[in-house]
Structure 1
Amino acid sequence: MLGIYPNWLSWTFTIILNISVSLALYSLLVFYHVFAKELAPHKPLAKFLCIKGVVFFCFWQGIVLEMLVSMGIVRSNHFWLDVEHLEEAYQNVLVILEMVVFSILQKYAYSAAPYSGEVDAKILKKRE
């Protein structure tokens, strides 16, 4: 923000953050794989993909936008709007569009069925 850090340091932190987030995602997938049978009535994979999709789409589109700015593909042609604000505006518009899609997906992933007794009935049928 103040311009006191070199550009390579920002990319180094981005790479470290990417490795950390990817390792956390891998750990969650391993956890799901181990407990898939026990969690099946609650459809955790759909919930997992919705939430992690939001996080990763925002993260990766920010990286892509930053790369486009650093390569000079995204430029500002207005004297009153610098390229950093333009990049932020693109990021915000993309997040808004993604949230519309993810809100529809989350409506199905987080349905009210588990709270209506249907899941309990399915579990009891499987046990019999």
Structure 2
Amino acid sequence: MTGPDHFHDAAVGAAAVFALAAVWRWWVLMRRLAAAAGAPEASRTAAGAAAAAVTVCTMVPVYALASLASLVWVEWAPVLDLARDAYEGLVLTAFVAMSVRLARSAAVPLPGAARAVNAARIYAIVKPAMAALGIVGALVPALGWEEGVFGWTSLWMWATLANNAAVSYAMAGLMGIYSVLHHDLPPSARITPKLLCVKAILFLAFWQGCLIALLAHFDMLPATAHYAVEAVEYQLQDLLMVVECWFLALAHEHAFILDAPPSIRASAQHRSRTSDAKWIAASILTIKPAKLKTE
């Protein structure tokens, strides 16, 4: 009988600390965004942009808690990661919606909005679809999933290429929007930090996954006392993601909290937590790729 897996226990403990810290910083940011959206001087467009920002920033608790749960329940990691991947597409859609609303509020024409919307829709479909295919491939060996194998017969490799194509197209759409907004929006819009927050999580999630797969492919990722190399891949990815969520929460504060004046930031402390929670939930549920408009 093997002894306790100290690496796994330490990873879970560290991930729990970082996840709780990240969720707390997210909640503080959400209450300040709620205060900004509910301020009397806030326009309808500004309130809509704040609602879209909620969906973008909520990637912090979604990623942190899903990754922590994957570390605790390793056998359910593929399913939990599927939920995380599905939300990733929603984040991209929300950022496009926020950019469109910021452009409207400043009366800035946005010719690349239609392309960015289409790219967001494609990515919102491809990303979770490929994750679901991975779960099916793991359950049905005859499909030739072969995770971590870079070969023509590896379904995993083709799914990875599809993900890469979708994220590249989505990033191209985002950069098209950014090239316009960066020059035409005032510095107070802080469009560059906002874009970097979105790009960071998308690229970190994808490329570090590819790097971990390469390490496993070349036998540079050892198994532990209780888990095979495939499980260690998931655990390492999840641990890195939780730690990164803490830094991402700090980056979100820099990118979004400074949008609100000090009076609004201070008023967030006196607002109803229940009403703020309802506004946060409603903001997330209103972002739907199929209903995103560009006019």
Q: What TM-score, normalized to structure 2?
A: 0.37
Question: What SS class does the counterpart of residue 72 from structure 1 fall into?
Answer: coil
What SS does the corresponding residue of 1:24 show, helix, strand or coil? helix
Q: Tell me what 1:86 maps to.
A: 232
Please say if 1:116 is aligned against 2:254: no
Comparing 95-104 and 29-38, the one that deviates more: 29-38
- Which structure has more relative contact order (CA 8 Å, sep 6+)? It is 2
Distance in structure 2 (CA, Å) of the matches to 1:115 and 1:107 = 11
Residue 241 (structure 2) pairs with residue 103 (structure 1): no
Aligned length: 116
Q: Give the corresponding residue for 1:76.
A: 223
Rate the CA distance shift 1:74–1:33 in 2: closer, same or farther, 3 A. Answer: same
Judged with a 3 Å threshold, the aligned counterparts in structure 2 of structure 1 residues 100 and 114 are, in CA distance, closer, same or farther, namely closer
After superposition, the C-alpha distances for 1:100-120 in whole angstroms (9 at most, x for unaligned) are 221211111111x433299xx
The equivalent of 1:126 in structure 2 is none
Quote the Cα distance in structure 2 between the aligned partners of 1:117 and 1:104.
Answer: 18
Matched, 1:31 2:194: no
Identity, % of aligned pairs? 24
Contact map agreement 2:216 2:229 (CA 8 A) in 1: yes
Name the CA distance, whole Å, in 2 between partners of 1:65 and 1:43.
Answer: 33
1:124 aligns to what? none
Which aligned pairs between 1:47-58 and structure 2 lie closer than 5 A? 47-58=194-205
CA distance in 2, matches of 1:75, 1:4: 26
Which residues of structure 2 form unaligned runs of 5+? 1-137, 147-153, 264-295
Report if the CA contact (8 A) 2:224-2:232 is conserved.
no
Any unmatched runs of 5+ in structure 1? Answer: 119-128
Give 3-state SS (helix, strand or coil) of 2:235's partner.
Answer: helix
